[in-house]
Structure 1
Amino acid sequence: MANRTVLGVSIAIAIVAGAGVWVKQQQQEAIAQARLLTDSVGAVETLSGYDSLSAAHDHLQGAIARLENAPKFPRQSELEELTFLRSQLQVVQQKLEPEQKARQNYQEAITRAMSASQLVQNPPHPPAVWEEAQRKWQQTIAQLESIPQHSSTFAEAQGKLKGYRDNLAVVSQYVMRSHQAVELNNRGMEKIQAGDYSAAIVTLSQAVELNPALMEAYLNRGFAYAAMDSHQSALSNYTTAIRVNSSSPEPYYFRGEEYLQLGRFEEALTDYNKAIDLDPNRANAYLDRGLIHYQLDHLEKAAADFSKAAELLNHSQEPALKQLAFNLARDIRATLEVDPVETEQSATSSSMVAEEIEPEEPETIILYRQRRVKANYRSLPSTVTRSRSSSGSRSRSRSRSRRR
């Protein structure tokens, strides 16, 4: 029994001794690895530049982590080592932070510069695009100018600044031209309001010469041409406006209105359909499309459009127009309720020619033709808004024969 006890004690001592040796080895390896990492850093006081400081930061963090994770650490000697390394890391962090900020500003500026360049590719562009590009270049330049001279990124930033300032100067010229075009557009609108359509066309032509992407100028010039009965020129301007901005409902609405005036109902219907797809909340578009459907004998669709217009006008400040839309829908539905067989028999008994019956148009249709409401002209933001008044309407009444 005594021998067994002695043997057990001996084994325990051997295990403890072995563990001690292993711990000592691990401690020595941790110290060696930590010193190897810190030796590669050198004197942190003399370090500069983003890359050098980043590498030193990583090495010091690695050395500290190696010591902190060594078994049975820290002892007094290692505590002193850790304290020294942490102080070195703090020095590096203080020097690295402004370098990181400078590098971040530089990278953000480069990204914004690329965005500004892409924004103005494939001109012409509307004023808002040039203004956005101008803002981006201004922000880019300001961000590069904020990089301190002692930063390692300073030279790179300075190398970009000259080209970026040149780009800003070019874009600023386009911004100035686009603003001048807006002013000319507004003057043209004023001349339209005064009834001086020839002078308006001259002024609006100057506007599109300065900025060929100014959709509103084409719409206004188209209106001026139409007022002078130059309908092909009006249609051409509206079509150009569509090419400039196919996502706006305005040019489709105006071209459709012109087709409607010319009696080209199928083409008018196509444009009104597109305008309503792009802006489904415009009551006037439904009123006009309802009239087109009526002209094409699409009475159910006409009634539906007039009803939709009345619904949209429910909370408007035009109660008379709302009532007219309601009456239009009512009268068209009343027409639909007439029995065509009964009507023809009645016509025969009255010795009328049954093949072609000339019905009376609903009075509301005649009334709507007389007071067709025009769409508002929309000028650019911060400019004077003009609208097409009913007294200046180009609408003309049309009589036609229809079968019941």
Structure 2
Amino acid sequence: MQHHAHPLLSPVPGTQRNLESFHFGPAEAEKRVYIQGSLHADELPGMLVAWTLKQRLKALEEAGQLKAHVIVVPVANPIGLDQQLMDIPLGRYDFESVSNFNRGYRDVTERIAEGLESALTQDAEHNRAEIRRRFIAALDEQPATTAYESLHLTQQRLACDADFILDLHCDFNAVEHLYTTPAAWPDFEPLARYFGAKASMLATDSGGGSFDECFTLVWEQLRERFGDRYPIPYGSQSITLELRGQQDVARDIAERDADAILNWMRYHALIDGEAPPLPALPYPATELAAMDFLRAPAGGVVVFHRTPGEEVKSGDLIAEIIDPISDAVHPVRAEQDGMFYARTQRRMATAGMIVADVAGHHAHRSGYLLAP
């Protein structure tokens, strides 16, 4: 194992932070895997799973069983991890810019594309290597003027040449679910099975410039631009694993999730050894554009009638919003059949607040598909 500290831009003197990465397996390995935890710094299940993977990967490396080079960043957001207000951790948004830490990653597609056509050939592997070289160079050219930008660029530079990128998150109160792209689904469908994903939502571009898509969208756009004349394989496939809810921080759960990731790596021959038989997929993959955010029609006390992990039908009562002054009771119902997979932790709703998430089957949204 090698440990590297990557200094971030310091906002003021005396406040230096580093992004810490841990590297396992042969540096010259053909395949590379990047795993980070808790980019939203108040989502700690990912941090514990990443720490668990560190221990397991170290043992696999010592046994000579790692066939890929694996980078683990267990604390992906030291800035957000240090943000608390009145004893409440607030790690989703950057206090300085009021920006979501998992939005607005740098898009360097145009820089990579400059002069690229003259360097492309009919050799797909040559093209992949050339694009990766340009990807690294383009990110190295990017300036960072804030700590937030410095964090983003450091993460991108660490991950941009990985074949597989795993971003470990969680929701407020939820069951296992994930987000990836249609192109990556064949690679990650086995992981969805080992992980036990109750919802797997697919989108090529969800509209927010999130960490997972800042890699895959580059390859998608280059394939669209040059793919009719030159073979351009995907250089990176990425996935956001949602490790249930914020309170699901426990050793046994983390061990189970680490097992799922390591078994998926065995399935792809990234680790020596036979992968276990694939379990059944708990729920079929659906389009992210078919997912519904169910919102509170008015403010009031939130009372849930269904639990995440339950399949629901259109019209099913998910929750009630009760106004204790007027006695008004507002139902929140499923808008289509699907999987109720996540809900708010708050029990006092504000008007328009997202109360519950349902993975449906009827695509009806476009543009920006993510939560704020």
Instruction: Name whichever structure is richer in helix by fraction.
Output: 1
Identify which of structures 1 and 2 has the higher relative contact order when contacts are C-alpha pairs closer than 8 Å and 6+ apart. Answer: 2
Instruction: Name whichever structure is richer in strand by fraction.
Output: 2
TM-score if structure 2 supplies the norm length? Answer: 0.19
Larger Rg: 1
TM-score if structure 1 supplies the norm length? Answer: 0.18
